[in-house]
Amino acid sequence: MKNKRVFDTKVQYLKYKVLREVAREAWDDTLLEDLLDIPKKIVSGKTPTMRCCVYKERAIIAERVKIAMGGDKENPNVIEVIDIACDECPAAGYEVTDSCRGCLAHRCEDVCPRGAISFDHNHVAHIDKSKCVECGRCSKVCPYSAITNRVRPCQNACKIKAISINEDGGAAIDNEKCISCGACVYQCPFGAITDKSFILDVIDMIKKNSRDKKSKLYAVVAPSISSQFTYAKLGQVVSGLKTLGFHAVVEAALGADMVAYSESKELVEKGFLTSSCCPAFVSYVKSAFPELTEHISHNPSPMAAIAKYIKDIEPSAKVVFIGPCTAKKAEAQLKEVKAYVDSVLTFEELQALFDSRDLDITQLEEEALDNASYFGRIFARSGGLSDAVAEAIKEQGIEDFDLKPCSCDGIEECRTALMKKKRGVLNENFIEGMACNGGCIGGAGCLTHGEKNKAQVDAYGREALEKTITDAISVLKM
């Protein structure tokens, strides 16, 4: 089946199969009857392909079905651990492997700042765990690469250290720290951490509107869509959304144009600002640097801005945001956003939705998608927001403000910049915070994370009819 190649990993493909099945049953109104049969449908036969036996495989699929249906209602986090799917990966930290040849140089010993390395009678190195501080220098200097760092992929992915190991040896997420960026979701090789899906809410909205025609459904698509669904044309994705039952498709990038325009004004007025587009970054500032909260831009995110605009025009409308982001699912639940955004889907979930209707979008006519400017569209990649703010300052003829942006690509760079600001040593006056590496195109809900994604976003930006932010938002100022 061609969909296997639509995704980066087999974990995504498995997640997709569950979502597709759940969605199919939901369209047919048979979900409740057939709920218990889904695991057997996905894991058929007697030969296990993923775990020790088919029974465990099915038990895990049953958990995935629950998450596809909205997950644990008691847990406020949109990111959840499937306990039985966690393989409890070894996490021993720095270890000397068999490759140690017992050499004479002992670079590892010399470089260790804590004297944690000793040698046995075969001259083989050993690390004293009570002294080791995991600095990794020994690993770097060993000419045989004999020292490895055994870290759990989830903990390694979570750069803000929100994942720990619980008493049963499984992964545990600290909800106070977690920013729902989804890095662990994408990185866990067993697919044991996953984002809750609201695909059923979307199906409900579509069905309801097709019956009573009371509330038209708007799909607000993130600009990173230009690097996704590459097996089809973007215009066919737009067509596909309409075929599914969406009334219209609107670019979140137009919201980005609106945000760039007003955020630049706010920046000039206040003199220093951190961006508010990336919900994971905003949540990180609030939880890890509460003293910097006052500097977060008061502008809504592009998603919230465009959704508000749609609902101002048409209060009965329903808005579904479709993007690469798991943190948007959390943002949509915030009290200040809730009223505007009714649900959030990832690109993974949209693929499942298309296929649950056996909709081959490559066979559809292309439809137009053009609301935003080049600058709104390049928000999808790191550095785009800063470029847009610079452009908005220029377009408004503000000359006495010297923009010095600090584009943070990934949460680690965000931390460095925020740390500097906290200590009063940051030279820049605008922090563009993007939690995912590469910006939104690195989001956990993307189908693929390729080298070409940034170029595709830029190309999509250049195709925009409107070349300036002012032109793009002029249609909204009536």
For residue 80, the cross-strand partners are 194
CB of residue 461 vs another protein: minimum separation in angstroms? Answer: 16
Closer by beta carbon to another protein, 163 or else 249: 249
Q: Which of residues 192-211 bind another protein (CB under 8 A)?
A: none
Give yes or no for residue 367 binding another protein (CB under 8 A). Answer: yes
Q: Which of 248, 359, 390, 426 binds another protein (CB under 8 A)?
A: 248
Pick from 89, 217, 101, 213: nearest CA to 157:
89
Give yes or no for residue 303 binding another protein (CB under 8 A). Answer: no
Closer by beta carbon to another protein, 109 or else 314: 314
Give yes or no for residue 133 binding another protein (CB under 8 A). Answer: no
Closer by beta carbon to another protein, 455 or else 465: 465
Torsion on CA atoms 431, 472, 310, 384, rounded to nearest 10: -30
Give yes or no for residue 370 binding another protein (CB under 8 A). Answer: yes
Give yes or no for residue 218 binding another protein (CB under 8 A). Answer: yes
Rg (CA), the chain: 24
Cα three-residue angle 134-167-192, rounded to 5 degrees? 80
Q: What are phi and psi of 169, to 5 degrees?
A: 90, 0
Q: Which of 249, 352, 353, 436 binds another protein (CB under 8 A)?
A: 249
Q: Which of 66, 101, 177, 247 binds another protein (CB under 8 A)?
A: 247
Give yes or no for residue 465 binding another protein (CB under 8 A). Answer: yes
Give CA–CA dist 125/109, Å, rounded.
8
Give yes or no for residue 341 binding another protein (CB under 8 A). Answer: no
Give CA–CA dist 443/459, Å, rounded.
19
Closer by beta carbon to another protein, 349 or else 466: 466
Give yes or no for residue 435 binding another protein (CB under 8 A). Answer: no
Give yes or no for residue 478 binding another protein (CB under 8 A). Answer: yes
Q: Which of 23, 78, 238, 322 binds another protein (CB under 8 A)?
A: 238
CB of residue 419 vs another protein: minimum separation in angstroms? Answer: 42
- Residues near another protein (CB under 8 A), total: 21
Sign (positive or negative) of CA dihedral 257, 259, 265, 271: negative
Residue 253 host element (H or E): helix 252-270
Burial 353-366 (b: 16+ CB within 10 A, else e): bbbbbebebeebee
Task: Report the 10 Å Cβ neighbour count for 188.
Answer: 25
Give yes or no for residue 316 binding another protein (CB under 8 A). Answer: no
Give yes or no for residue 369 binding another protein (CB under 8 A). Answer: yes
Closer by beta carbon to another protein, 310 or else 447: 310
Instruction: Using CB under 8 A, list all residues that contact another protein.
Output: 218, 238, 247-251, 310, 313-314, 367-371, 465, 471, 474-476, 478
